[in-house]
Amino acid sequence: MTEARVWSVTSTTPTVEDAQMIARTVVAEQLAAGAEVSGPAMSVFWHNDELGEDQEWRVTLKTSVMVRNKLAKRIQELHPWAGAAEIVATPVEWATEYYVAWVEKVTAAVE
């Protein structure tokens, strides 16, 4: 089985401004072909040995397998939570060839 050509990379941030800044930066740098910011969502989590609860904003980025790891590294650099940033990726199992070509064309400029 071959690796997916397009990936959906997601991170959460404490503010909408943080999510928008990450989205704008990585799309401008062509590490992602596009981004969506959604929220707020109420998050319940275990951190620093205690239960926490707060609002978070989600940024979802469309990228290619070619730059997925570079995108994750850049999100980590930009993220206000530094080493604790949530960065997860899911392969896009199916997409139209037009969509895949668009994502690959936009992100190919990075290589």
* All structural domains of the chain: 6-105 (3.30.70.120)
As a whole number of angstroms, the distance between CA 55 and CA 13 comes to 9
CB–CB of 32/64 below 8 Å? no
* Whether pLDDT at 11 is above 60: yes
How many CA atoms lie less than 13 Å away from 102 in the CB half-sphere?
8
What was the pLDDT predicted at 1? 56
State pLDDT tens for residues 29-57. Answer: 999 999 999 999 999 998 889 999 999 99
Which helix (H) or strand (E) is 40 found in, with range?
strand 34-47
In order of 5, 14, 29, 71, 98, the CA distances from 102 in angstroms are: 11, 30, 15, 17, 6
List the alpha helices (DSSP H) in 2-42.
Answer: 16-28
Q: Average pLDDT for residues 65-94, to the nearest whole number?
A: 94
